[in-house]
Structure 1
Amino acid sequence: MMTMQLMSSGVVFLFVMVFLTWVHAVLAEGENGHGGIRNYISWEDLQVDEQRLTLKRHDDVRVIIVNKYGWGHSKTVQGAVDMVPDNNKHRVKIYIYPGVYREKVRVPVSKPYVSFIGKRNQTATPVITWNSKSSDKGTNGQALGTFDTATVGVDSDYFCASGVTFENSVIATAGVKGMQGVALRVNSARAMFYQVKIKGAQDSLLDNTGSHYFLKCHILGKVDFIFGNAKSLYENCLLESIADNFGAIAAHHRNSATEDTGFSFVGCSIRGSGRVYLGRAWGNYSRIIYSKCTMDDIIIPEGWSDWNHSDRKKTAVFGEYECNGKGADRNKRTAWSKSFSYDEAVPFLQKSFIDGDQWLRL
């Protein structure tokens, strides 16, 4: 009798173990994108296995090939985006061959989990370019405004891009009205950009809303070439001024102390031409921090601007922590900017600033 009970317990135990193994496999399959939603961005989402890449149906392989010369699923980037099904629940990679793609591109909120991936090991990268400026007339006969000038506009959640150039080719002079021209606008709740180039003049990157991670990117412009009200971490990026005389790198639009937004630049290099502010207080509680950045001698000694609103000196959060280079000299900085201590800087130094532990697996 005892032997039979032991055997019965063993069978139950084995059944439970087999069942748990099956559940684990099902969950793992879901995490791998074959049976469920992957609510995070990983290195895999930024890569394509070029050795196995063939021109199959894009809905079979979840890789859509863009080639302006005709060998691909689409000759245009927008055409590839349009192939992504609405309310998509799996990662779709849009693999873009080198070339200049002269078009406006929109990735709507209804198409999440999209990757833009430029072909690797090429001297030329794919360039998506257009030349809208804010004073241009739209289809309704009214001026476009800055928001709608974007060459590429991304509203898609869990969007990521690598090896692509986003460009607005408008040539703007600092202070000239109506010349704003956005290369990339990001409204994603969560998005990552790795080794991309964002090129414009005035208002190059509209980092508008959401939490975003820019890693080893090259961002260049003249005036406020990174602006918006997102909560974003820029790590090991090259920030290049192409200002003729004067300009500004960043303009943040935080409007109250309760808004959890801001731009954090960590380990970035600042170089280029002209004389530029590190940041301007576009909003009353604008928040911009530079940590461990290398600054060439192009920074206006005062460093920061209140945008001609003196009250913002009391509420804007402008900080620097352990920066170096000739442009990092704080002897003539505005009295209302801060040299951060480690304790003050630490919340802005890691991916935890953008809650990256919840949606980045790198």
Structure 2
Amino acid sequence: MDAMGLKFFIIILFFTSANSRTHLNSLKIAEEGYLDWIRRMSFRNHSHFEEAKNIFVPCKIIKVHKNPKYGDFTSMQKAINSIPVVNLCRVVISVSAGTYKEKIEIPATMAYVTFEGAGSDKTIIQWDDTADRKGPKGQPMGTYGSATFAINAPYFVAKNIAFKNKAPPPPAGVTGKQAVAVRISADMAAFINCKFVGTQDTLYDHKGRHYFKNCYIQGSVDFIFGDGLSLYEGCRLHAKTNKYGALTAQKRESMLEETGFSFVNCKVTGSGALYLGRAWGTFSRVVFAYTFMDKIITPKGWYNWGDKKREMTVFYGQFKCSGPGADHTGRVSWARELTQQEAQPFISLSFIDGHKWLKNI
């Protein structure tokens, strides 16, 4: 049982206790259970995910360059096509500076692929699909299919590269304009010094363990969303909207799911009025620690997705955040200002079991 599940359990005990002594004993038991959860989440090997068996030494390096004289291929897709469909060793694709107008998808069997750009301001991959755009079979491709860059294979790494969805910002009230820059539907993916640029639904943190280090992520509504177990460290989170927006929409649907987003030593900036998160999932879980928040953050901080029942089951917390938008006094009553002990499971690589699969990245 996770923290918010135990919180709900405590409340039930309060209203059903027959006498004060029984009530106090029950609260003590529930509190001990909560502390047990904290301790378990602090262990290195707490996750239900499979054990990591990463490969770090490359067996092959492929060069992509706009000029065929200086590279093996002139497009990222051609480089990917040259890799065995069932890949069993680390392949590094080195991409030179330039803007690559491509829509890329890495199949589930093509593990251990690394993309290295010349810098997130120099190496850019972009496309402009939206959820309502028709796919090859004439049906709308949906949010899932709108991604410029989609990863379905484990152990993916990207460094020093920008991913963009160039679809224009949608008018207010228009549906079907979700436009994903990157979708990550695989376990153990890492992004170092990368940029993710879009408007609505920029980064689809779909499922699996993910790590983002020193990245820039820009959008307007739910621009980091999904049901991943992900750590964002030292990232710049930039809202670009003239109205209300939301930074996260985490989709945890059960207290048994070990998923959630943790933002550590990040910086939230931009324009408009921004919620830290919306409860897309009934048990949505998001934590911000040591993060600077500009004045764009709405005082309430969080939105229940129009469902008051979710206020009893979500886990939304802050720990030692700073800036004009970090003031917790105006927050909704169902968000938490965490203690050191409560925050501890969320603020290190152990949150995503990263001590193994992130080695040498």
TM-score calculated relative to the size of structure 1: 0.82
Aligned partners of 2:121 and 2:161 also within 8 Å: no
Paired with 1:69 and 1:274, the residues of 2 have a C-alpha distance of 42
2:314 to 299, 304, 316: 316
Give the number of the structure with larger relative contact order, counting CA–CA contacts within 8 Å between residues 6 or more apart.
2
Which one has a bigger Cα radius of gyration? 1
1:116 counterpart letter in structure 2: F
Aligned residue identity for 2:113: V
Structure 1 position 339 matched with structure 2 position 337: yes
Answer yes or no: is 1:153 the counterpart of 2:167. no
Give the aligned partner of residue 240 of structure 1. 238
Give per-residue Cα distances to partners, 1:190-229, cap 9 Å, x unaligned: 1100000000000000000000000000000000000000
Alignment of 1:131 onto 2:102:
no
**CA 41–222 in structure 1, closer or farther in 2 if over 3 Å, else same:** farther
Tell me what 2:36 maps to: none
Amino acid at match of 1:171: P
Distance in 1 between residues matched to 2:187 and 2:256, nearest whole Å = 18
2:300 equivalent in structure 1: 302
Separation in 1 of the partners of 2:73 and 2:238?
33
| Corresponding letter in the other structure for 2:294 | D
Partner residue, 1:48: none
Amino acid at match of 1:276: L
> Hey, which bits of structure 1, 4+ residues long, moved more than 4 A?
none
Structure 1 gaps, min length 5: 1-37, 46-60
Counterpart AA for 1:88: N
Q: Aligned partner of 2:272: which letter?
A: G
Measure how far apart 1:178 and its partner are: 0.8
Distance change in 2, residues 1:124/1:331 (3 Å): closer
Counterparts of 2:85 and 2:174, CA distance in 1: 40
3-state DSSP of counterpart to 1:243? coil
Percent same amino acid among aligned pairs?
41
Partner Cα distance (1:87, 1:142) in 2: 29
Give the letter aligned to residue 93 of structure 2.
I
Once residues 322 and 334 of structure 2 are traced to their aligned partners in structure 1, the CA distance between those partners, rounded to angstroms, is: 20
**1:110 Cα deviation after fit:** 1.2
**Cα 1:349/1:77, change in 2 over 3 Å:** same
Q: How many Å separate the matches in 1 of 2:175 and 2:116? A: 35
1:359, distance to aligned residue in structure 2 (A): 1.1
Change (3 A) 1:315 1:41: farther
The one-letter code matched in structure 2 to 1:102 is: K
Equivalent in the alignment of 2:90? 91
Aligned ranges 1:38-49 → 2 under 5 Å? 39-40=53-54
Give the 5 Å matches for 1:1-362: 39-40=53-54, 62-70=60-68, 71-119=70-118, 124-173=121-170, 175-362=173-360
Q: What is the CA distance between 1:245 and its match in structure 2?
A: 1.3
Letter in 1 for 2:89: H
Distance of 1:110 and 1:175 partners within structure 2 = 39
Q: What is the root-mean-square deviation of aligned Cα atoms in Å? A: 1.5
Question: Offset at 1:41?
Answer: 6.4
Counterpart CA distance in 2 for 1:351 and 1:319 is 18
Name the count of aligned residue pairs.
307
Q: Which amino acid aligns with 2:54?
A: Y
